[in-house]
A and B are shown apart, each in its own frame.
Chain A
Amino acid sequence: MKFIDPHIHMHARTTDDYERMAAAGIVAVIEPAFWLGQPRTSVGSYIDYLSSLVGWERFRAAQFGIRHYCTIGLNSKEANNEALAEQVMEILPRYLVKEGVVAVGEIGYDDQTPAEDRYYRAQLALAVQLDMLVMVHTPHRDKKAGTIRSMEVAVEMGMAPARVIIDHNNEETVQDVLDRGFWAGFTLYPNTKMGNERMVEIVRRYGPERIFVDSSADWGVSDPLAVPRTAQLMLERGIPVDHVEAVCYGNALAAYAQSGQMQAADWENPIPVDQRTLFEGNSVLRGQVPQVGVAPAAGLPLGELAFK
């Protein structure tokens, strides 16, 4: 089975992760621009970060046969530093129109401050102007109200719900999101919040339409194999195969293919995995023999891919 992880911060992950993800069947990832765990102090470090998303990280992923896409945006936490936020807003358009940028994101609310609201709206306006999709990060605190507010503001600013992905949903938010016609992303956090078991029950109850899962793996405790692991659990619990494929692959593709920047042909009609010529370079391989023409074996038992 093929998988897409439509929300993962690969810049914080190792090549071991890339290897295990490819081996588990992940063919494409979307890396939303986010914060770094600590606040940036200047627009320069923001520029370097955004450049790494469209450059270095894309190159790294390609060496493991994984297609890397990204979303570009000013995140809600750093929207609260208005001096920085103003400068970031100035450089965003040039990144938004680059190849492989599938949405404006992840944007939205954190503490739901006036500054967050202002830059969320400004970026929604940019998305409308550039005819782009939007990926919304919903707040971890005051979640339900924050999610509803995110959707209402998106519509108010002129976004069609079908062009907005609402991420980090849970049992309390999913019904509203689906009823209003938005896409509903679910982040599978190990130990906390949205676990794999709960996800199985959500798919059983709501079906597979407009729902998909992601790992949001980053520099914190997180699991870059959350999507394939959840797929395995769903199959074990009797969720139909086509529902599992929709939730772990097809729906994310359908949502983000609307951007015109991401399509199945990118990995189905490949350019074979060629670590010497795809984006090339051997600095990541550091003397290993490059793999040419053969994708890493897919479908290894997940038990063998457990964290080292």
Chain B
Amino acid sequence: MTPFSLIRHWLYERLPAEATAWFDGALDGVIRSTSDGDLNLAFGLVPRKLGKADLALTAEELRAAQGARAGWDPELWSVDQAARIALLLATQGDADAFVRRLDLLCATADVAELVALYRGLPLYPWPERHRLRAAEGVRTNMKAVFEAVAHANPYPAEQLSDGAWNQMVLKALFVGSALDPVVGLDGRANPALAQMLCDYAHERWSAGRPVSPELWRCVGPFATGAMIDDLSHVICTGGEAERLAAALALWRSRDPAAANVLQRHASLAAAAAASAVDRRAPRTLA
């Protein structure tokens, strides 16, 4: 099944007949329409007509999602979000028309609509045409919108340039978003990002503000030179979570200096090795 038919199926399973009748009519209108007037009105009306309940997908349905589109994770989607994305997927026309439509919907969106539109990124046709849109979502000042792009969304790791990707990771830390839900975080780690993150840690230290332990996760594989010194500082002076995060980062570094630091913290090194194995990222100690 395509993502579109899966969404429609999930909605039919969950909504009363009156709501699905409205939704069928709305989809029909969008498919037949030659202008975007029907889409714009239906898009706005969705919560009034279908409600805003969690979609609450079963494990089996989530597996079907992965089967329909690798990396697609609608676990936290709601009914209104799913319906809005389905409406957009039902539209006809070429790539230019789709991009223009998405731009206009975003330009006139309320907060909940923006979250839905950005959560839908991995399902849109012509994926390479939505990179600027994703970067715009990263640029928002509204954290819920930012997380619609950054969290549980495979699109950024697949499509963003290193520059845009690095901005997204740094911004997540900056606005207090977790890094763990970022899809492809380890795979997209790169030396420039490691350097940016260490610079950011120094800024935070200078301001006397805490540094998220998650920051070091993207530093580890590329830690060398002064970055090892930073990790050494954290493993000596940080709180419990920070020390473990630093140990894990050191464990993933290929620089022999990292192993030297780890040798002085045997129990943390062991914990890091165990934790890294849990993450299925096997790598022998240097």
Contact = CB atoms under 8 A, between A and B. Distances in A.
A50 B112 contact: no
A281 B48 contact: no
A279 B144 contact: yes
Contacts of B114: 55
Interface string B80-93: 00000000000000
A55 B142 contact: yes
B108 A50 contact: yes
Contact of A55 (B41, B47, B109, B209): B109
A137 B43 CA distance: 29
Task: Give the dominant DSSP class at A's interface.
Answer: loop
A59 B176 contact: no
Sorted nearest first, the 10 A-B pairs with minimum C-beta distance are A280-B143, A54-B110, A281-B143, A97-B44, A283-B141, A94-B40, A280-B144, A97-B45, A281-B142, A98-B110
A97 B48 contact: yes
18 contacts: A50-B108, A51-B110, A55-B114, A55-B142, A58-B111, A93-B40, A94-B44, A94-B108, A95-B44, A95-B108, A97-B45, A97-B48, A276-B143, A279-B143, A280-B142, A280-B143, A281-B144, A290-B176
Interface string B116-154: 000000000000000000000000111110110000000
Given A99-B47, A260-B48, A282 B111 contact: no
B114 to A, nearest CB: 7
A42 B168 CA distance: 33
B70 interface: no
A56 interface: yes
B44 A98 contact: yes
A281 B141 contact: yes
Nearest to B146: A281
A1 interface: no
B1 interface: no
Interface residues of A, number: 27
A55 B110 contact: yes
Nearest to A97: B44
A297 B165 CA distance: 41
A62 to B, nearest CB: 9
Contacts of A47: 107-108
A260 B48 CA distance: 9
Contacts of A283: 141, 175
Contact of B110 (A58, A281, A284, A287): A58
A100 B110 CA distance: 9
Q: Give the residue among B48, B142, B176 with the most A Cβ atoms within 10 A.
A: B142
Q: How large is the interface on B (under 10, 10 to 19, 20 to 34, 35 or more residues)?
A: 20 to 34
Contacts of B141: 56, 59, 281, 283-284
B40 A51 contact: no
A295 to B, nearest CB: 20
A99 B112 contact: yes
A55 B113 CA distance: 9
Q: Give the residue among A95, A97, A260 with the most B Cβ atoms within 10 A.
A: A97
Contacts of B48: 97, 99, 260
Given A51-B108, A98-B113, A93 B143 contact: no
Contact of B176 (A54, A276, A284): A276
Interface string B32-50: 0000000011011101100
A281 B175 contact: yes
Given A94-B44, A276-B143, A279-B111, 4 more contacts: A55-B142, A95-B44, A279-B144, A280-B144
A287 B146 CA distance: 18
Contacts of A276: 143, 176
Nearest to B141: A283
A162 interface: no
A290 B143 CA distance: 13
A96 B143 CA distance: 25
B30 to A, nearest CB: 14
B76 to A, nearest CB: 13
Contact of A282 (B40, B175, B209): B175
Contacts of B147: 280
Contacts of B111: 54-55, 58-59, 279
